[in-house]
Amino acid sequence: MKLKKGDEVMIVQGKDRGRKGKIEEIDVKKDTILLPGLNVYKRHVKKQGEGRPSGIIDFPRNLPINRVQLICPKCQKPTRAGYVMSEKDKHRICKKCQQMI
Ligand SMILES: [Zn+2]
């Protein structure tokens, strides 16, 4: 998983293609991410007692990570992340501008 929480990504496939958002949650087991307000679907709910009327609600669905591309915070371009090793650490870098991100 090369993405992390708070990363800005752009959706490259699906109904919200071209839209950007910040990663709110990551599911590492399923390789999916959640972007608030994006990839939102309508769900019909039945009345479930007092105060919870029936109707249509919006809910965001997780997106597979292969449907988004990382936006580099340094050069603002859609990019792929790479890694470089220093003596102690592994650093994530932008493959376009080579800066640490
Ligand atoms: Zn960059």
d(CA 14, CA 86): 37
Say how far residue 28 (Cα) sits from the centre of its chain.
Answer: 12
The band of 50, judged by pLDDT with boundaries at 50, 70 and 90, is: confident
Task: Summarize the confidence of residues 8-15 as an average pLDDT.
Answer: 94
Residue ranges of the domains in the chain? 8-48+56-75
Q: What is the pTM of this model?
A: 0.82
Q: How far is the CA of 91 from the centre of ligand 1 (A)?
A: 14
Q: Which fold does the domain 8-48+56-75 belong to in CATH? A: SH3 type barrels. (2.30.30)
pLDDT at 15: 87
DSSP per position, 16-73: TTT-EEE--EEETTTTEEE-TTSSEEEEEE---STT---EEEEEEPPEEGGGEEEEPT
Task: Summarize the confidence of residues 49-63 as an average pLDDT.
Answer: 86
Residues by chain with Cβ below 5 Å of ion ligand 1: 72, 74-75, 94, 96-97
Q: How far is the CA of 10 from the centre of ligand 1 (A)?
A: 14
CA dist 66 → 12, 46, 47 (Å): 9, 34, 36
